[in-house]
């Protein structure tokens, strides 16, 4: 799995990116030592980019080996009230009392849409 052509390309991309970021950080550090004050920030920024690239690589490997549960086998998330499924919450939202202000706004949007799509004369 981690040695497929797709993953080998990702590994190569990571090595190239971290190498470039390290070289750029070293270069900016040299410029900062030469008196360029702005380069001090960049000397610290490039290693952060390298750390982010390594984090992305590790996170991608983790997600590849432990994929999240898809909709087919997903149960209701724990943070939904009463363990209700998402579809049940949508249905409950549909059955709420009508909102006159929202209905007026939707009519206004429909009118604007109709005006924009009128054929040119």
| pTM for the model | 0.53
Contact (CB, 8 A) for 35 and 67: no
Distance of CA 113 to the CA centre of its chain: 31
Confidence of residue 7 (pLDDT cuts 50, 70, 90): confident
Q: What per-residue confidence (pLDDT) applies to 95?
A: 63
Cα distance between residue 68 and residue 19, in whole Å: 31
φ/ψ of 4, rounded to 5, equals -75, 165
Q: What per-residue confidence (pLDDT) applies to 56?
A: 92
Cα distance between residue 87 and residue 17, in whole Å: 43
Span 98-107, average pLDDT: 89
Q: Give the residue among 62, 43, 58, 53 at the shortest CA–CA distance from 19.
A: 53
pLDDT(55) > 90: yes
Span 27-54, average pLDDT: 91
Q: What per-residue confidence (pLDDT) applies to 25?
A: 93
């Amino acid at each position: 799995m981690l040695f497929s052509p797709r993953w080998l390309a990702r590994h190569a991309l990571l090595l190239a990116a971290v190498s470039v970021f390290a070289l750029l950080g070293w270069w900016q550090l040299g410029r900062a030592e030469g008196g360029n004050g702005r380069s001090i920030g960049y000397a610290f920024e490039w290693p952060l980019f390298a750390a982010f690239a390594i984090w992305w690589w590790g996170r991608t490997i983790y997600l590849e080996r432990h994929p999240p549960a898809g909709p087919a086998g997903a149960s209701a998330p724990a943070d939904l009230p009463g363990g209700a499924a998402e579809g049940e919450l949508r249905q409950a939202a549909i059955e709420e009392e009508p909102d006159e202000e929202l209905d007026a706004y939707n009519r206004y949007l429909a009118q604007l849409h109709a005006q924009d799509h009128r054929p040119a004369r």
